[in-house]
Amino acid sequence: MRLSEYNDHDATGLAALVTSGQVTPSELARLAREAYDEVNPRINAVIEFYEDAETVAGASGGLFHGVPFLRKDIGATEAGRLQENGSRLFKGCCAGTDSYFFRRARQSGLRTIGRTAIPEFAMSVMSESVLHGITGNPWDLNRSAGGSSAGAAAAVAAGITPIAHGNDGGGSIRIPAAWCGLVGLNPSRGRISGGPHEQDADFGLPREFVLCRTVRDMATALDVFSGHYPGDPFVIVQPNRSYVEELSQPTGTLRVGLARTKWGAIDLEPEVLNAVQSTASLLEEMGHIVTDVEPPYESIEYKRIMLARSRFSASSLEDAARAMGRQINADTVEPINLKFFEYGRKSQGRPGDVEEVLRRIRRRVGDAIHSFDILLTPTMATVALPHGGINSTTNPALSAEEFKEADAALLQYTGVFNVTGQPSVSLPLAQSADGLPIGIQIVSRFGDEATLVRIARDLEEARPWSHRRPKTWTGDK
Tell me which residues are annotated as active site.
Answer: 72, 148, 172
Q: State the Cα–Cα distance between residues 86 and 119, nearest whole angstrom.
A: 6
Q: Which element (helix H / strand E) includes 68? A: strand 68-72
Cβ neighbours of residue 248 under 8 Å, at least 6 residues apart?
none
Q: State the Cα–Cα distance between residues 219 and 224, nearest whole angstrom.
A: 9
b/e burial code for range 148-170 (CB count within 10 A of at least 16 → b) = bbbbbbbbbbbbbbbbbbbbbbb
Q: State the Cα–Cα distance between residues 81 and 98, nearest whole angstrom.
A: 9
Residue 132: strand, helix, or coil: coil
For the chain, how big is the Rg over CA atoms in Å? 21
Q: From edge to edge, which strands make up the β-sheet containing 255-258?
A: 163-168, 207-212, 183-186, 424-431, 437-444, 374-378, 255-258, 289-292
b/e burial code for range 5-24 (CB count within 10 A of at least 16 → b) = ebbebbbbebbebbbeeebe
Q: State the Cα–Cα distance between residues 443 and 459, nearest whole angstrom.
A: 14
Contact status, residue 77 vs residue 102, Cβ threshold 8 Å: yes
Q: Are strands 207-212 and 183-186 parallel, antiparallel or unpaired?
A: antiparallel
Helices (H), 165-214: 174-180
